[in-house]
Amino acid sequence: MGGMTTPADDFRSGFACFVGRPNAGKSTLTNALIGTKVAITSSKPQTTRHAIRGIVHRPDAQLVVVDTPGLHRPRTLLGQRLNDVVRETWSEVDVVGFCVPADQRIGPGDKYIATELRSIARKTPVVGIVTKTDLVPQQRVAEQLLALQELMDFAELVPVSAVDGYQVDVVADLLVGRLPVGPPLYPDGELTDEPEATLVAELIREAALEGVRDELPHSIAVTIDEMAPREGRDDLVDVYAVVHVERSSQKSIVIGQRGQRLREVGATARQHIQKLLGTKIYLDLHVKVSKDWQRDPKQLRRLGF
Ligand SMILES: Nc1nc2c(ncn2[C@@H]2O[C@H](COP(=O)(O)OP(=O)(O)OP(=O)(O)O)[C@@H](O)[C@H]2O)c(=O)[nH]1
């Protein structure tokens, strides 16, 4: 941020999330809004409960898009837990974007989401978004907007195509318009310094936390020691990473019986990293006890906080 410029008095900042049935186009729209800049969750310990998907930086606003798992009709305890996370996110963001694809009839799944949204996030404005307009004739888009309007009270309605870019800015404007006035929540610079390594670290952290979030809420940090293409090959990147925990008891949780868990963490993380980088990777994962790293400013700095 540099402290050189002070944001204008009417600068807006805040959080948004997208909801909608699977395949409604939420991720694609998020990526279109964010462009190339990728944001990283691990840089802010207090926000790790809601993974940040990306940040839209504009001269007049900063829009932080958070991830939510899909809302399901709860059939299992896990389903219920996931739904709790969804509800919590909904009530904490400043605006929700409810996505419905233009090429599919509005159905029970959408009605379920609308009912839930109404009951949980009564005060959160919801923007109704008809996605994938490039797939259907204009007339169909209009019909879908009308059908969507019947579902619930929307703050705004807007059609968009993330693929051809139609009205992506309008969606951004509508979401930003619902954010409170306030300074940027995240510095711009840190997100672009080393996006890949930081994001790779975050993917490993996410994988390591999967299933043990309750046992190790904020006690994990990940650093990347080295990340470079294997010599003489352009299709393989070596990643050397360290998972930092606070106590040796946590180390055993992360490693698991005979290393079983760590292997799974590695496999999951590797898949995600390969997707991100678009190349094969070799992932070398070590677990290290960095005692009380959360309370030690020096260690915190080293771990990138
Ligand atoms: N033609 C077209 N296809 C789109 C558009 N947006 C998304 N898609 C496609 O629709 C499919 C689902 O898109 P996603 O963005 O993954 O949908 P999602 O809502 O994030 O899906 P979940 O992660 O399953 O909840 C993908 O195959 C996208 O390529 C669009 O604007 N136009």
Instruction: Pick the range with the lowest mean pLDDT from 77-81, 204-208, 291-295, 299-303.
Output: 299-303
The radius of gyration of the chain's CA atoms, rounded to the nearest angstrom, is 21
Domain count, the chain: 2
Q: Which of 27, 28, 167 to mutate to test the pocket of ligand 1 (most atoms within 8 A of CB)?
A: 28
Which residues have C-beta within 8 Å of that of residue 56, sequence separation ≥ 6?
33, 34, 35, 62, 63, 64, 65, 172, 176
Find out whether the beta carbon of 68 lies less than 6 Å from any atom of ligand 1. Answer: no
Q: Which of 23, 34, 42 is nearest to 200 (CA)?
A: 42
Write the CATH number for 213. Answer: 3.30.300.20
Residue 7 lies in a domain: no
Q: What pLDDT, on the 0 to 100 scale, is given for residue 240?
A: 92
Q: Which of 108, 16, 124, 29 is nearest to 71 (CA)?
A: 108
Structure tokens at 52: 């940040």
| Domain finish residue from 110, 141, 176 | 176
Find out whether the beta carbon of 104 lies less than 6 Å from any atom of ligand 1. Answer: no
Report the mean per-residue pLDDT for the chain.
81
Structure tokens at 32: 């279109």
Q: Which of 36, 35, 68, 33 is nearest to 52 (CA)?
A: 68
In this structure, which amino acid lies at residue 245? V
* DSSP calls for 137-163: -HHHHHHHHHHHHHHS--SEEEE--TT
Range of the domain at 19: 12-176
pLDDT bin (cut points 50, 70, 90) of residue 38 is very low
Residue 32 lies in a domain: yes
Q: How far is the CA of 124 from the centre of ligand 1 (A)?
A: 25
Element (H, E) at 237: strand 236-245
| Domain finish residue from 110, 143, 176 | 176
Q: How far is the CA of 235 from the centre of ligand 1 (A)?
A: 28
pLDDT bin (cut points 50, 70, 90) of residue 144 is very high
| Domain finish residue from 141, 176, 211 | 176
CA distance 158 to 148: 10
**Please, are residues 195 and 142 in contact by the beta-carbon 8 Å criterion?**
no
Find out whether the beta carbon of 195 lies less than 6 Å from any atom of ligand 1. Answer: no
Same domain (yes/no): 65, 161: yes
* Tens-digit pLDDT profile for residues 101-125: 999 999 998 998 899 888 876 788 9
pLDDT bin (cut points 50, 70, 90) of residue 52 is low
Same domain (yes/no): 104, 215: no
**Please, are residues 197 and 238 in contact by the beta-carbon 8 Å criterion?**
no
Decide which of 70 and 23 is more confident.
Answer: 23
DSSP code, position 180 = P
Residue 184 lies in a domain: no
Find out whether the beta carbon of 12 lies less than 6 Å from any atom of ligand 1. Answer: no
Same domain (yes/no): 155, 294: no
* Tens-digit pLDDT profile for residues 14-36: 999 999 988 899 888 988 888 64
pTM for this prediction: 0.63
Residue 182 lies in a domain: no
Residue 134 marked ligand-binding: yes
**Please, are residues 142 and 9 in contact by the beta-carbon 8 Å criterion?**
no
Which residues have C-beta within 8 Å of that of residue 248, sequence separation ≥ 6?
289
Q: Which of 172, 254, 268, 176 is nearest to 215 (CA)?
A: 254
Residue 187 lies in a domain: no
Same domain (yes/no): 50, 138: yes
Main-chain phi, psi angles of 128, to 5 degrees: -85, 125
Residue 131 marked ligand-binding: yes
Same domain (yes/no): 52, 151: yes
In this structure, which amino acid lies at residue 81? R
Structure tokens at 18: 């997208």
Residue 2 lies in a domain: no
Residue ID of nearest Cα to ligand 1 atom 6: 25
Q: Where are the beta strands (DSSP E) in 38-123?
A: 52-58, 61-66, 95-101
Residue 71 marked ligand-binding: yes
Q: How far is the CA of 154 from the centre of ligand 1 (A)?
A: 22
Same domain (yes/no): 38, 153: yes
Find out whether the beta carbon of 20 lies less than 6 Å from any atom of ligand 1. Answer: yes
Same domain (yes/no): 159, 200: no
Greatest Cα pair distance, the chain, in angstroms, is 62
Q: Which of 207, 197, 211, 212 is nearest to 263 (CA)?
A: 207
Residue ID of nearest Cα to ligand 1 atom 2: 132
Mean pLDDT of 172-196: 74
Residue 70 marked ligand-binding: yes
Same domain (yes/no): 148, 229: no
Q: Which atom of ligand 1 is nearest to the CA of 161?
A: 31
Q: Which atom of ligand 1 is nearest to the CA of 164?
A: 31
Write the CATH number for 77. Answer: 3.40.50.300
Residue 186 lies in a domain: no
CA distance 284 to 286: 7
Residue 146 lies in a domain: yes
pLDDT bin (cut points 50, 70, 90) of residue 145 is very high
Residue 6 marked ligand-binding: no
pLDDT bin (cut points 50, 70, 90) of residue 304 is low
Find out whether the beta carbon of 23 lies less than 6 Å from any atom of ligand 1. Answer: yes
* Tens-digit pLDDT profile for residues 256-283: 999 999 999 999 999 988 877 778 999 9
